[in-house]
Structure 1
Amino acid sequence: MGANLHDALLASAEGRNIDVRKVECLSACSSGCTAVVSMPGKWAWLLGRLTPEKSDDILEYLKLYEASRTGTVMPSKRPASLSDMVLGRIPAALIALQEPS
């Protein structure tokens, strides 16, 4: 299902300034399909329980994330289908936008 989510996000993100990258494992197997959202200077979020059917809502969340000063999107502002998606957050200072070596 992860490949299907990746493909759905790629299709939905086409023509937008969103970088969708495939990764091998985020070590959250019990939480279904997972993703990380990050931008320089903002909290990064580990998201789970994602499905290809939620790809449009995920992109809506990304717009809200981008517009946020800190990267925090309050639960009341998120699309309803994503109410249980947050698995964790990572301080901006710990995020490096490089591929692991």
Structure 2
Amino acid sequence: PPGRALYEQMLTRTHDTNVVVHEVKCLAACDRGCTAVVAMPGKWGWLLGHLGPEKADDLMIYLAAYAASHSGSVMPSRRPASLSDMVLGRFPAALLTEHSS
């Protein structure tokens, strides 16, 4: 499936980086193609869609811009054109660090 192919493409591109790739079965966005989550503590997290293995290089460019951003926001003008429709939603950084009792 395309999601598995994207995962494999990302694994080959992140081998010598500090990007961590996890495979998940479902992000509940079936009508949005392959999906991914990008998140770092202290930054906005993003649900991305309309992805595929052919966009792996552009996704790596986006990840570098995301990592360099103070807040995790990457302006559309700083994203590769192939990723113009990828943002499906965002979530606050606090969700990555809060623990329930």
Aligned AA (2:94): A
* CA distance in 1: counterparts of 2:71 and 2:77, whole angstroms: 16
Aligned to 1:99: none
- 1:1-101 map, 5 Å: 1-96=2-97
Question: What is the CA RMSD across the aligned residues, in angstroms?
Answer: 1.2
SS at match of 2:50: strand
With normalisation by structure 1, the TM-score equals 0.92
1:46-77 CA distances to partner (integer Å, 9 max, x unpaired)?
A: 00000101001001000000000000000011
The answer for unaligned runs of 5 or more in structure 1 is 97-101
Q: Could you list the structure 1 runs, at least 4 aligned residues long, displaced by more than 4 angstroms after superposition.
A: none
The answer for unaligned runs of 5 or more in structure 2 is none
Shift of 1:13: 1.1
SS at match of 1:18: coil
With normalisation by structure 2, the TM-score equals 0.92
Task: State the aligned residue count.
Answer: 97
Work out the percentage of aligned pairs sharing the same amino acid: 59
